[in-house]
């Protein structure tokens, strides 16, 4: 895989280096991910949502091609039945919101198992969960609403594929399409909070911080799975970023457990570069692109406020990749080299690899980040073929 010729010689056009603040990184991580919060998320997820970790797959042939010592791929495409990491964040948040509802009515907090078994359906049955989505978060909320005995109404923008809409409807949700992009769907869902609906947002904004924090606590379980499975502390972790919930949660957990050892690089499409622009400006800044990216789940114009709070003091750098680089990375994962196992990777799953390849192909950046033959990198395959039709079309698209 080769980097775009327009940007390969000048890292400043696609990479912003940042210097983490160890004290601030620990402070913000501990505030978000207390031991009690992570323990609660782990208990709920393991008992009622995702009983087993997804695999961390070694890709030695691809590591050799990139000139590094080791590469591990966290395969969230195997997070059954939704084929996406979003399942553990959105579903955990739904379970906690419904537990709050039952506790307020009865004085006793129910277990997630009791909710899933329908013991409180007389209380949860009229509750409406709502959210905005580019596809996978909405599926998680839809699945969880059905699992824990509530209703769901999901808002999507114009570009969300029919296949992803159908998948949410298959879990019993009503899907409402709004004119515009993801941020327009966020506004539509947020407006329903005044009507008494429960907004299960995966992006934090003023007035909506508590539920996105729950979503991120669910994502912390993903980080713990990586920490438990990787044979050595990695030197580099590359994280894709849409609104930043996953990137922020995984970064916070890594800083808690591994400290400042791994270099953490945030990767996103250049057409949806809100994290990159925020890092460049030193404050939250909207994306400069039109959000028209094949990485549908990353097509977000604004960062979550909580994610920025973490990433701004904890990440080592922010990188953008082109559409061609995203497609090349996706194809490389789905068509592995001889020594590597077969993977079903969706369009957002290759973001970390696209960033890794871009660094590898730039001598100055590779040197400054110590991406050499001793490097041990971790990337996260955030989704499988969550829309099989789109997945097949992309794999058939020429580079």
Residue 399 has pLDDT above 90, yes or no: no
pLDDT band at 8 (very low <50, low <70, confident <90, very high): low
Residues 74, 75, 83, 86: which is the catalytic one?
86
The HSE-up count of residue 89 (CA atoms within 13 Å, CB side) is 31
Mean pLDDT, residues 107-115 = 98
**Tens-place pLDDT, residues 114-157:** 999 999 999 999 999 999 999 899 999 999 999 999 999 999 99
Q: Rg for the chain (alpha carbons), in Å?
A: 20
**Tens-place pLDDT, residues 153-168:** 999 999 999 999 999 9
pLDDT above 90 as % of the chain? 94
| 61, 337 Cβ separation under 8 angstroms | yes
Give pLDDT, residue 38: 95
Q: How many CB atoms lie within 10 A of CB 91?
A: 29
Residues 134, 202, 224, 340: which is the catalytic one?
134
| 156, 185 Cβ separation under 8 angstroms | yes
**Tens-place pLDDT, residues 275-324:** 999 999 999 999 999 999 999 999 999 999 999 999 999 999 999 999 99
Q: Is 134 a catalytic residue?
A: yes
Q: Is 86 a catalytic residue?
A: yes
CA atoms of 67 and 265, how far apart (whole Å): 18
Give pLDDT, residue 158: 94
Domains of the chain: 11-84+214-396 (3.40.50.1100), 86-212 (3.40.50.1100)
Give pLDDT, residue 5: 35
Give pLDDT, residue 4: 37
What ranges make up the beta strands (E) of 256-309? 263-269
The pTM of the full predicted model, rounded to 2 decimals, is: 0.95
Burial of 364 (0-12, 13-18, 19+ CB in 10 A): exposed
pLDDT band at 194 (very low <50, low <70, confident <90, very high): confident
**Tens-place pLDDT, residues 172-187:** 999 999 999 999 999 9
Residue 394 has pLDDT above 60, yes or no: yes
């Amino acid at each position: 895989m080769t980097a775009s010729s327009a940007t390969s010689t000048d890292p400043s056009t696609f990479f912003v280096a940042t210097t983490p603040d160890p004290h601030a990184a620990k402070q913000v991580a501990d505030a978000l991910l207390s031991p009690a919060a992570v323990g609660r998320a782990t208990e709920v997820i393991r008992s009622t949502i995702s009983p087993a970790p997804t695999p961390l797959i070694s890709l030695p042939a691809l590591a050799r091609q990139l000139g590094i010592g080791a590469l591990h791929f966290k395969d969230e495409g195997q997070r059954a039945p939704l084929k996406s990491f979003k399942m553990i964040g959105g579903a955990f948040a739904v379970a906690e919101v419904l537990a709050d509802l039952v506790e307020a009515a009865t004085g006793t907090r129910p277990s997630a198992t009791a909710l899933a078994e329908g013991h409180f359906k007389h209380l949860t049955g009229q509750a409406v969960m709502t959210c905005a989505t580019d596809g996978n978060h909405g599926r998680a909320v839809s699945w969880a609403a059905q699992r824990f005995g509530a209703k769901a109404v999901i808002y999507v923008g114009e570009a969300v594929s029919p296949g992803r809409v159908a998948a949410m409807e298959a879990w019993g949700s009503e899907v409402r399409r709004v004119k515009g992009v993801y941020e327009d769907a966020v506004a539509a869902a947020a407006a329903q909070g005044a009507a008494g609906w429960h907004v299960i947002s995966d992006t934090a904004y003023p007035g909506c911080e508590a539920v996105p924090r729950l979503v991120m606590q669910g994502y912390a379980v993903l980080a713990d799975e990586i920490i438990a499975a990787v044979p050595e502390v990695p030197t580099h972790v590359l994280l894709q970023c849409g609104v930043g919930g996953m990137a922020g949660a995984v970064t916070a957990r890594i800083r808690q457990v591994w400290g400042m050892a791994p270099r953490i690089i945030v990767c996103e499409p250049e057409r949806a570069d809100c994290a990159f622009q925020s890092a460049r400006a030193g404050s939250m800044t909207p994306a400069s692109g039109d959000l028209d990216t094949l990485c549908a789940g990353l097509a977000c114009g604004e960062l979550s406020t909580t994610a920025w709070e973490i990433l701004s003091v904890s990440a080592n750098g922010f990188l953008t990749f082109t559409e061609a680089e995203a497609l090349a990375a996706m194809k490389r994962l789905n068509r592995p080299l001889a020594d590597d196992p077969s993977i079903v990777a969706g369009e957002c799953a290759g973001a970390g690899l696209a960033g890794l390849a871009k660094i590898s192909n730039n001598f100055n950046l590779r040197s400054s980040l110590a991406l050499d033959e001793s490097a041990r990198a971790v990337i996260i395959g955030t989704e499988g073929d969550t829309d099989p039709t789109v997945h097949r079309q992309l794999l058939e698209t020429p580079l």
